A and B are shown apart, each in its own frame.
Chain A
Amino acid sequence: MSATTEATGARSGSWKRLFDLRSGDTLTKVIVILITIGTLIYILLPVFWMLKSSFQANVEIRALPPKWLPENPTLQPYENAGRLIPLWRYVWNSLFVSVTASVIATLLACSAAYVLGRFRFPGATLILALILLTNLIPAITRTFPIYFFIQDLGLLNSYGGLILSYVGFSLPFAVLLLRGYFESSAPPELEEAALVDGCNHFTAFLRVILPVSLPGIAAVAIFTFLNAWNDFLWASLLLNQGEMKTIQVGIGDFAQEGGGPQYVNAFMAACVVATIPALIVFLFVQRWLVGGLTAGSVKT
């Protein structure tokens, strides 16, 4: 929030203020700034390396001393990536699975979170405890039974099986986040007013509570989308055949085959493509994501 309320006057004076304090503070600040710069390099180097490599010829990537900027930027790697693996098909698979899982998980989480946050009914505490517990079970513990479960349903190597497991995987966290959010964004008075105006509980939820909670809901939707988009473990088990693979599994396979030293640039191009959708989503909804996340999770 303070980012938006920042006065322009404070901005121009802030460089000066950085150094005009006590000498002990100046030392602290210098150290902090140095560490921050180091950390920023650590954070950005891999991303930069990936980006620049995806526009270079292979010879240039492997050159020593390293070439930090492409001398002859080329889009060839992206074309090659599309030829070596069915890149765009993989991206499409990932998008389809992630968006569907995100929509389903968010809808289910909204309805559950609302009643768990607002009403007291027999079993509510137990349900909440079970959801909390599920949120904390390590993925690997659930992997094998879910694998057999999906197999028994006949959904191995289908989009449906993967979507089901993503919904199950994201749901607990989504419920917990939204429960906190509904409590802070939609006061009970709002709902009481709707009931007086002739809504029943469900229409009040649909027409009054949901609209005022959109930022939180968006944050949850994005979170579940990213969960699914970023996932490698489940996708590699449940959907690993032919053209139906998700992009992460495609990348993982590519990496383990050594990335083919002769195809590094194509590989890096594939990595860029696998990262960009999530990044675009993030840029659009940055403020919502942070706001929605904090309202729900850090309310203590």
Chain B
Amino acid sequence: MVRDKLIFCYLMVAPAMLFTIALGIYPMLYSMWMSFVEYDLLRIQQYGTPFVGFDNYVEVFSDPRFVQTVSNTVLFTILAVSGTLGISLLLSQVLNAKFPGRAIVRMAVCVPWFVPPAVASAIWMWLLNTERSPINYLLRDWGVIDSNIRFLTDSTQYGPFSIPMLAIVAVRVWNGLPFAVIFILAALQSIPASLYEAAEVDGATIMQKFWHVTLPSLKPVLLILLTLLIIGGLGSFEINYIMTGGGPNNLTNIMAVYSYQQAFSFFRFDLASAASGVILILTGFVCVYYIRAQFKGTQQ
């Protein structure tokens, strides 16, 4: 009986495990290996894949474009994550309150979820096109600006910021917002109403209720969401790749795009793997936290 049960368990889990190993674990290890050998598609026939230690990492980090890409990625992630968290916290509060037309607003908020990133990038490219942008037109019409903002091509830097970077972040936030809102909304609905009633008896204002009841209750969920958003931000690819291809002047280039270009434009899969290895390491720090939180959750 016990043996039957064991066989049943392993049989049930085997197919999923096979996929996880073949398309998750094995590729990750293979990619790590690639980052420590020479894997130049143009030379591989002749020279094979000799072990080169940390040379690939040294090479990418001595490329000023890559160093800039790393700082871009960190900046991009911080901006996108804080933007998403801030707006989704607010929107989820609003959607949790009762007001006429809530169902419609809720549906409207969800819409970007179903706009594929490729499509989202394409539409925003048109909305942000310097000459034709309706946003530029409105701003000019209202007298806010004199000349068109070059949303995706202005290479002026304001400290670490630049207009194309902010524009790309706005698109990323736009696309990622619904998931965050639904995530928080679900958690909001599980906060017992008695907590709010108690706060109301004490005469708390909306802001006080938010700070002292809502935020503490949301903390575990917010931390999970934060990790997911950071991981997503560090590995983000489509929007930057389609909208700017990393330009102008490398200002919106992020690590995943750099890695992709190394591999499929220059056939340097070793450098590409080293670059993606850096993403993996950064993600790793965040993951350690996330996995600990998940396991704590299952043990309770």
Q: Which of B13, B28, B220, B283 is A116 in contact with, Cβ under 8 Å?
A: B13
**A211 at interface (Cβ–Cβ under 8 A)?**
no
**B215 at interface (Cβ–Cβ under 8 A)?**
no
State A1–B110 Cα separation when bound (angstroms): 17
Residues on the A chain within 8 Å of B23, using CB? 142, 146, 149, 164-165, 167-169
Minimum C-beta distance from A63 to chain B (A): 9
Residues on the B chain within 8 Å of A121, using CB? 5-6, 9-10
Q: Known A109-B16, A138-B283; judge A132-B183 contact (CB<8 A).
A: no
Q: Mark B240-274, 1 if CB is under 8 A from A, else 0.
A: 00100000000000011001100110000100110
Residues on the B chain within 8 Å of A300, using CB? 220-221, 224, 293, 297, 300
**A201 at interface (Cβ–Cβ under 8 A)?**
yes
Whether A115 lies near B12 (C-beta < 8 A) is yes
* A interface size (C-beta, 8 A): 109
**B8 at interface (Cβ–Cβ under 8 A)?**
yes
Max chain A C-beta neighbours (<10 A), residue from B12, B107, B132, B238: B12
Segment touching A, from B51-59, B64-72, B97-105, B156-164 = B97-105
Interface on B for A, CB 8 Å cutoff? 4-6, 8-10, 12-13, 15-17, 19-28, 30-31, 34, 87, 90-91, 93-94, 96, 98-100, 102-103, 105-127, 132, 134, 137, 141, 170, 174, 177, 182-183, 185-187, 189-190, 205-207, 220-221, 224, 231, 234-235, 237-238, 242, 255-256, 259-260, 263-264, 269, 272-273, 276-277, 279-280, 283, 287, 290-291, 293-294, 297, 300
Whether A108 lies near B16 (C-beta < 8 A) is yes
Residues on the B chain within 8 Å of A45, using CB? 127
Q: Known A36-B91, A43-B111, A121-B10; judge A66-B134 contact (CB<8 A).
A: yes
User: Which residues of A25-81 have CB atoms within 8 Å of chain B's CB atoms?
Assistant: 25, 28-29, 32, 35-36, 39-40, 42-47, 49-50, 53, 61-62, 64-66, 68
Q: Known A142-B31, A232-B118; judge A14-B98 contact (CB<8 A).
A: yes
Whether B287 lies near A136 (C-beta < 8 A) is yes
Q: Which of A32, A61, A145 is B26 in contact with, Cβ under 8 Å?
A: A145
Whether A256 lies near B186 (C-beta < 8 A) is no
A130-B25, A138-B276, A282-B113 given; 11 more Cβ-contact pairs under 8 Å: A32-B90, A42-B174, A68-B134, A133-B287, A134-B28, A138-B279, A140-B255, A169-B23, A267-B122, A274-B118, A278-B116
Report 9 cross-chain contacts, Cβ distance below 8 Å, ordered by A residue. A40-B108, A45-B127, A115-B8, A141-B235, A145-B28, A167-B19, A168-B23, A251-B118, A286-B110
Residues on the A chain within 8 Å of B242, using CB? 232, 252, 255-256
State A175–B263 Cα separation when bound (angstroms): 31
Residues on the B chain within 8 Å of A252, using CB? 118, 122, 242
Minimum C-beta distance from B189 to chain A (A): 6
Interface on A for B, CB 8 Å cutoff? 1-3, 6, 10-11, 14-15, 18, 21-22, 24-25, 28-29, 32, 35-36, 39-40, 42-47, 49-50, 53, 61-62, 64-66, 68, 108-109, 111-112, 114-116, 119, 121, 124, 127, 129-134, 136-146, 148-149, 164-165, 167-169, 171-172, 175, 200-202, 205, 226, 229-233, 237, 248-249, 251-252, 254-256, 259, 264, 267-268, 271, 274-275, 278-279, 282, 286, 290, 293-294, 297-300
Measured CB to CB, the nearest residue on chain A to B122 is A255
Whether A268 lies near B123 (C-beta < 8 A) is yes
